Amino acid sequence: MTWDLIGHDWAVQLLRGHILNNSLRHAYLITGPRGVGKANLAIRFIQALTCPEGGSSGNPCLVCQTCKRVDRLEYPDLFPVGVEEESKQIKIDQIRELIHNLSLSPYEAGRRFGLLLDFENASPSAQNSLLKTLEEPPGSVILILTSITSSALLDTITSRCEEIKLNSVPLDVTSRGLQELHNIPPQEAQFLAHVSGGKPEIALAMHVDPDILERRRNLFNEHLEILAGNSVRRFAYANQVSKDPHKVRELLDTWISIWQDILHQSSQSQIPLQNIDREEDIQHILRQVDFATTRNSLILFRRAHQLLGENANLKLTLEDLMLGLPTISTSL
Ligand SMILES: [Zn+2]
């Protein structure tokens, strides 16, 4: 069996079983954290269903023209929908266009595929407009939705899909996959497995674009400054970064990973450090906070993360967060 994915073997087996047993569902919902490989799993599944070389194996060859076109999302029977540039949401017009395309006969494959990426970003009206197609899909259509969590979607959507819940990939599996499938040297692969928290797509993005690691280093340092800073400094920072929503998302991911590390260390859990290159800084904070403070900080971060998903006011959300964080004297 090989779909050349890092981790998620059980999900590959399940989907491959649906192909081999002729028990395909009309709609799938793949959920899991950002960067865990939801879209890749969806693409491999579509390749397995369209590859002319795979025969009855349920495996795509990954090298034929069909596999390559599906991978580039340029296959004529595949209709991807996601948040368009300069937009925050998947809009109702995009869903209407998708429904129209899916209603036509397949051009090349035996079926047509709707791929709805990061559907947690679909407006309620866009989600509602998909309901009828989910209830009575044309016979030759398979819909695949991805979302960080099913709770971000309407119940009427999730109840009509088979959910496939992906988790972070164990660090040793991530590291091995980076080495074997992407030829990344062992030491770098192990480092990337840690700092990505077992999210293969984030690890690969960091490998390809060193700027991501540089930004992560800067965000880590900025957090140390903020923890040492007074409320004036913290509010000025909140005001400044709230102008850049992309930075806020990276900031929260990095800062949450810091506090998760502190929590794991303070509870003496065996979970390895995500910020493996910043152990000294983690220990420095750990010496100045108790367990309750750590847990409260993480609750604050998770709330901020959730509010951002609901398109809350960035500046207010960040100011609330800043107010709640403890003060830590600087180590530098
Ligand atoms: Zn192929």
CA 32 / ligand 1 centre spacing (Å): 27
Residue 55 has pLDDT above 80, yes or no: no
Give the residue-averaged pLDDT of 75-89.
90
Point out the least confidently predicted range of 64-73, 183-192, 299-308, 319-328. 299-308
Architecture category of domain 9-165 in CATH: 3-Layer(aba) Sandwich (3.40)
Q: How far is the CA of 174 from the centre of ligand 1 (A)?
A: 25
Residue 87 banded pLDDT, cuts 50, 70, 90 = confident
56 by Cβ neighbours in 10 Å (0-12 / 13-18 / 19+) ranks as: exposed
Mean pLDDT of 301-322: 85
Burial class for 136, CB neighbours closer than 10 Å (0-12, 13-18, 19+): exposed
Distance from Cα 153 to the centre of ligand 1, integer Å: 33
- For residue 86, pLDDT beyond 80: no
Residue 78 has pLDDT above 70, yes or no: yes
| Interval between CA 49 and ligand 1 midpoint (Å) | 10
12 Cα: distance to centroid of ligand 1 (angstroms):
16
Residue 68 CA to ligand 1 center (angstroms) comes to 7
Ligand 1 midpoint to CA 64 (Å):
4
Contacts of 227-231 with C-beta under 8 Å, sequence gap 24+, read 227/285, 227/325, 227/326, 227/327, 227/328, 228/327, 228/328, 228/329, 228/330, 231/322, 231/323
Check residue 166 and give its pLDDT: 98
Average of per-residue pLDDT across 109-135? 93
Rounded distance from Cα 69 to ligand 1 centre (Å):
9
pLDDT band, very low/low/confident/very high, at 107 (cuts 50, 70, 90) = confident
pLDDT of residue 221 exceeding 60, the answer is: yes
Looking at every residue in the chain, the average pLDDT score rounds to 93
Checking if the pLDDT of 214 tops 70, the result is: yes
CA of 73 to the centre of ligand 1 (A): 14
Burial label, 73 (beta-carbon count in 10 A; 0-12, 13-18, 19+): middle
Q: What does the pLDDT average to over 214-222? A: 96
Ligand 1 ion: residues within 5 Å (CB): 51, 53, 60-61, 64, 67
Distance from residue 180's CA to the centre of ligand 1 (Å): 20
Q: Please answer whether residues 143 and 137 qualify as being in contact, where contact means their C-beta atoms are separated by less than 8 angstroms.
A: yes
What's the pLDDT at 164?
98
pLDDT of residue 265: 92
pLDDT at 4: 95
pLDDT tens digits, one per residue of 269-295:
888 999 999 999 999 999 999 999 999
pLDDT computed for residue 331 by the predictor:
57
| pLDDT of res. 197 | 93
Distance 53 CA to ligand 1 centre (A): 5
| pTM score | 0.90
